[in-house]
Structure 1
Amino acid sequence: MLSEEFGVSPITVKRALRDLHSGGALVSVAGKGTYVKKQRRVWRELDVWMSSMDDAAIQLISITREKISDSTLRAFNPPEDVMLCVRKIIFADDEPFLYDATFLSSEVDGEIIDEFGQSYVTDALDRHDIHVITTDLIIEAAPAAGMVEEIFGIPTGYPMLRRLYKIQTSDPNITIFGIVQAPFDMLSCSISLPGNSKNTIVEPAK
């Protein structure tokens, strides 16, 4: 018994386990027990799209037609029309580390839609000569709610890192909106900024 091993009461052990579970350090699997959650942190560059993650696996959750309901995406002024929504889980080393919900025009050709189940949306579009032109990003912290709790085995309110994006493509009728989420302790983002040309030192001519 843990209480005997550590010289504390069973109540103290229960409280400690509850705190560890609330903090995301433990995960409970129905019918199997409670386990220490594997800790893994992935570094991603903000300006590198997910298609560059060659070692990642994709699991399609659903492809539906719906309106954008996440109020945070309003910063990008998305259309109020019904859009195509592609939801996926991205795995690394057989562990989920990203949840992605992508919205784009519902008028996309059916042949392209069929490819969304096995590819990133931008990769599928690129194969049909629809290319990424610009990408706008918003990075924010937000509490876990809904589907991500089950995907990552975390409690309600667990801190998440969210990357919201708007992608303009070479097709004026196709603009992509979406949200990528991961527990804050699993994902870190980096960016390299060019130097300011105003501060460049120019040697005088001799």
Structure 2
Amino acid sequence: MSELLLRTTSSLHESIREELLRRIRSGTYAPGSPIPSTSMLTQEFSVSPITIKRALRDLQAAGALVSVAGKGTYVKEQTRILRTLNVTAPLLDETKIQLISITREKISDPVMLAMDPPKGAMLCVRKIIFADGGPLMYDATYLSSDVDDEIVEEFGQRFVTAALNRHGIHLVNTDLIIDAAPATGKVEEVFAIPTGYPMLRRFYKLRTNDPEVTVFGVVQAPFDLLACSVSFPLKAAASTSASSKRVASKPKKRRASK
């Protein structure tokens, strides 16, 4: 039995999990490389396969390992892309789009319902955005179901906002809600991650210069793959504050004594 099991711990699988994590961080198991099979780890640590699988499952949920069906378990390459929260700007150079589907359906996500979308069916455009050879984001966009067919045909090659812009429909306001939630449904397949893997989600509501066209949607990405930044201009506030201080520092004129 490995010496690590002699340590005081609450359970065997936690000890094994921490040892495997130590090996990953030290480079013993390099990023992108396979780790030993369950049977090999079972023999090394003299524990049951169930204990090993529990430790591996924990490390997958934490983003340290990724399981590839039919091949094995690999150390996940920790590459994070930082993107500025600007829906009007291009995502990244060399970004590619894969159209998944265009359907008509109602918005049912509780978070998106907080943005007061229409209650009827909307046009739903689902896409995968690829960068550096792999999936970066999964995007589901909802908009009016009576959008011209000419515009809809462009959704397979362009982002929805870019297609609208080409037809004179421009963004005038953006509302965002950012949260984190466990992976469910299609995103598990797209990113090859287990159920419950933490996802970064960005919900958006985009108002346009056409009162009949408001865009709703949600972009999802694994928490360790994408991060978002935002910048707030404070010059005006700083200038106002400085002016207030100057006014406050001026000596008050005394009234002449009668």
In the superposition, the TM-score normalised over structure 1's length comes to 0.88
Match of 1:200 in 2: 242
Of 190, 193, 200 in structure 2, the residue corresponding to residue 151 of structure 1 is: 190
Match of 1:90 in 2: 129
Describe the shift of the 1:40–1:99 C-alpha distance in structure 2 as closer, same or farther (beyond 3 A): same
Residues 138 and 221, structure 2, Cα contact 8 Å, conserved in 1: yes
Helix, strand or coil: the match of 2:113? helix
Instruction: Please identify the structure whose Cα radius of gyration is greater.
Output: 2
Q: Greater RCO between the two (CA within 8 Å, min separation 6)?
A: 1
1:45-60 matched pairs, under 5 angstroms: 45-49=84-88, 51-60=90-99
The superposition leaves residues 53-77 of structure 1 with CA deviations (integer Å, 9 ceiling, x where unpaired) of 2321111111101111111111110
Helix, strand or coil: the match of 1:133? strand
From the two aligned structures, give the one with the greater helix fraction.
2
Match of 1:171 in 2: 210
The superposition leaves residues 109-166 of structure 1 with CA deviations (integer Å, 9 ceiling, x where unpaired) of 1111111011100001111111111111111111111111111122222211111100
Match of 1:186 in 2: 225
Residues 83 and 91, structure 2, Cα contact 8 Å, conserved in 1: no
CA distance in 2 between counterparts of 1:155 and 1:61 reads 21
The amino acid across from 1:70 in the alignment is D
Shift of 1:33: 2.7
Residue 81, structure 1, aligned to residue 111, structure 2 = no
Residue 160, structure 1, aligned to residue 202, structure 2 = no
Shift of 1:32: 2.7
Describe the shift of the 1:203–1:177 C-alpha distance in structure 2 as closer, same or farther (beyond 3 A): same
User: Which moved further from structure 2: 172-181 or 52-61?
Assistant: 52-61
User: Which moved further from structure 2: 53-62 or 33-42?
Assistant: 33-42
Match of 2:36 in 1: none
Residue 62, structure 1, aligned to residue 101, structure 2 = yes
The amino acid across from 2:178 in the alignment is I
From the two aligned structures, give the one with the greater strand fraction.
1
**Cα RMSD between the aligned structures?**
2.2
Of 40, 45, 49 in structure 2, the residue corresponding to residue 8 of structure 1 is: 45
CA distance in 2 between counterparts of 1:50 and 1:63 reads 23
CA distance in 2 between counterparts of 1:49 and 1:69 reads 26
The amino acid across from 1:127 in the alignment is R
User: What is the percent sequence identity of the aligned residues?
Assistant: 62
Describe the shift of the 1:50–1:152 C-alpha distance in structure 2 as closer, same or farther (beyond 3 A): farther
Shift of 1:3: 5.8
Gaps in structure 2 of 5+ consecutive residues: 1-39, 248-258
CA distance in 2 between counterparts of 1:30 and 1:157 reads 18
Match of 2:65 in 1: 26
Helix, strand or coil: the match of 2:158? coil
